[in-house]
Amino acid sequence: MSDRGDCIVSVDQSTSASKVMLFDTSGQPIHRVSLKHRQYYPLPGRIEHDPLEILENVKSAIEKVLLGSEEGTTPRALAIANQRETVVAWDRQSARPVGRAIVWQDQRGMPICQRLRQENMDAVILRKTGLLLDSYFSASKLAMLVKEDEEAAAALRAGRLMAGTMDSWLIWNLTDRREFCIDYSNASRTMLFDINRLRWDEELLDVFGLRGLLLPEVRCSDARFGEARSPRCIEGLPIAGVMGDSHAALFGHCGWHEGDIKATYGTGTSIMRNIGENPRPPAPGIVLSLGWGFQGRPAYVFEGNIHSTGDTISWLRDNLGLFDSYEEAESLAVEIGDNGGVYLVPAFAGLGAPHWVHGIGALITGLTRDSGRGHIIRAGLESIAYQVRDLVEAMAASAALPKCLHADGGATRNKFLMQFQADMLGMPVLASQVEEISARGAALMAGMSMGMFAGTDEVAALPLETCRYTPSMDSERRERLLAGWESVIRQALAGIPEQ
């Protein structure tokens, strides 16, 4: 980037909050505001957000972050990173949402996926979209919305139903309804986008009962997405650097080279690996997505998504009341020395990659009379590392085992977890000390779009503080722990209902 007056306003619209940050000329965060939004659980397996609440929170957070920044700090662009598979539908005529946003964790699309699987459509969907037929992705959520909600069905029949991921909803509103668009990375997670031909697929719209749905124009991640019209403090500011949050984290952390791999630890965890400009079939249980579009060319990634990681720790705190702070959880896990044979399989929303199964419950095994809260907390933390290890190993079937794992997200502050992760992988873990790496990635993409960098080499050379964790556990203990995990996973999978 150029002089000190330049900065990027970057929105990270996450599952739990609207976070807005300013990034300076060296790609470092200089100010941050976060506003939480409400989580709705109308029925078991259903999770929703209010898109109007999120929109107002984003506007408010932008105003607060600019008001609190140094005088003379001039934003050059607005970047957006967002939760991806969460989908919003709205009526073009009224400009109002049809129902709430359906969150990526929501499982209401399961019956539709089961029916399409019986019709042998899963192979067609995999070939076109790179995705496994699963309710995790947006298409079945929209299909169920249209099936259950007469307002949505009527708008679809009338050709008025608009839909997109959270970036599309925000851009449409921030540009005063002038721009209806989405980037490659978000489009590739809807299960309606052909990642080979790089366009929306009419056959898939038919398959999901969505013919006539108004879908956003797909653009490269470094394209211009219009100019903001509101809030007034950013009126006229170009919107550029739009990416799904996990893709932005890869771009902002490493990601520039084929083979780079990172884990973003959030409510769930995404493992993503850059495979270059040419798609190739992934290993079973792994999906193929578009990492981003950059300078007119797509980049492809292998990805696996774990449904419950940070959410597991929140459950232990909020539902079971086992600790008050994450620092206390780490301390209790370290104090007991080992897991005492206790394992937790956090299948609260089924199991994601590489298993992709639903209809099973979470499982705690190995409890004895000597087990205490520390063992259960430790089992929850360890479950995160085991699941990440399973995905890294699965990806190695289609690409060589990486030399290290880059890591980002809130859980990287837990030193016990990061060390245990390195031990289970048998490779170093490089944990970013910049907490909001998704927002950083979107900001860097926006900087590239605005010509604030001389080139990709300049971006790659920007400082990024990391903490290195090196494996230290002996192989015998590592293999014993992994064997225990694999055993309880088999127990959990034994409970899969008939499809």
pTM for this structure? 0.85
Domain count, the chain: 1
The model's pLDDT over 286-333, given as tens digits with 9 standing for 90+, comes to 999 999 999 899 999 999 989 899 999 999 999 999 999 999 999 999
Structure-block tokens of residue 254 = 């490493």
Does 279 reside within a domain?
Answer: no
Candidate from 114-123, 254-263, 328-337, 429-438 with smallest mean pLDDT: 254-263
Does 181 reside within a domain?
Answer: yes
Q: Which amino acid is at 49?
A: H
Task: Return phi, psi of residue 434, to 5°.
Answer: -90, 110
Structure-block tokens of residue 308 = 């419950």
Check whether 498 has a pLDDT greater than 60. no
Q: Which residue has the higher pLDDT, 359 or 210?
A: 210
């509103």: which residue's tokens? 173
Q: Please return the burial class of 334, using the count of CB atoms within 10 Å of its CB with bins 0-12, 13-18 and 19+.
A: middle
Check whether 276 has a pLDDT greater than 90. no
Which DSSP category does 44 fall into? T
Check whether 282 has a pLDDT greater than 70. yes
Concatenating the DSSP letter of every residue in 250-293 gives HHHHS-SSTT-EEEEESSSEEEEEEEESS--PPPTT-EEEEEEE
The model's pLDDT over 17-31, given as tens digits with 9 standing for 90+, comes to 999 999 988 888 889
Does 271 reside within a domain?
Answer: no
Angle at 306 between CA 301 and CA 308, to 5 degrees: 150
Does 202 reside within a domain?
Answer: yes
The model's pLDDT over 217-234, given as tens digits with 9 standing for 90+, comes to 999 999 999 999 999 989
Structure confidence at residue 358 (pLDDT): 80
The model's pLDDT over 417-447, given as tens digits with 9 standing for 90+, comes to 999 999 999 999 999 888 788 999 999 999 9
Q: What's the farthest any 2 CA atoms get from each other in the chain?
A: 65
Does 228 reside within a domain?
Answer: yes
Q: Which domain holds residue 146?
A: 6-244
The model's pLDDT over 331-355, given as tens digits with 9 standing for 90+, comes to 999 999 999 999 999 999 888 889 8
Strand 199-200, strand 193-194: pairing: antiparallel
The answer to whether 333 touches 416, Cβ cutoff 8 Å, is: yes
Strand 87-91, strand 161-165: pairing: antiparallel
Does 233 reside within a domain?
Answer: yes
The answer to whether 375 touches 235, Cβ cutoff 8 Å, is: no
The model's pLDDT over 145-156, given as tens digits with 9 standing for 90+, comes to 999 999 999 999
Check whether 4 has a pLDDT greater than 60. no
Q: Please return the burial class of 494, using the count of CB atoms within 10 Å of its CB with bins 0-12, 13-18 and 19+.
A: exposed
Does 378 reside within a domain?
Answer: no
Structure confidence at residue 72 (pLDDT): 57
Does 407 reside within a domain?
Answer: no
**Closest C-alpha among 233, 241, 179, 235 to residue 62:** 233
Mean pLDDT of the chain: 92
Q: CATH number for the domain including 62?
A: 3.30.420.40
Report the C-alpha gap between 464 and 29 in whole angstroms: 11
Classify 247 as helix, strand or coil: helix
Of all residues in the chain, what percent carry a pLDDT higher than 70? 96
The model's pLDDT over 57-95, given as tens digits with 9 standing for 90+, comes to 999 999 999 988 766 577 999 999 999 999 999 999 999
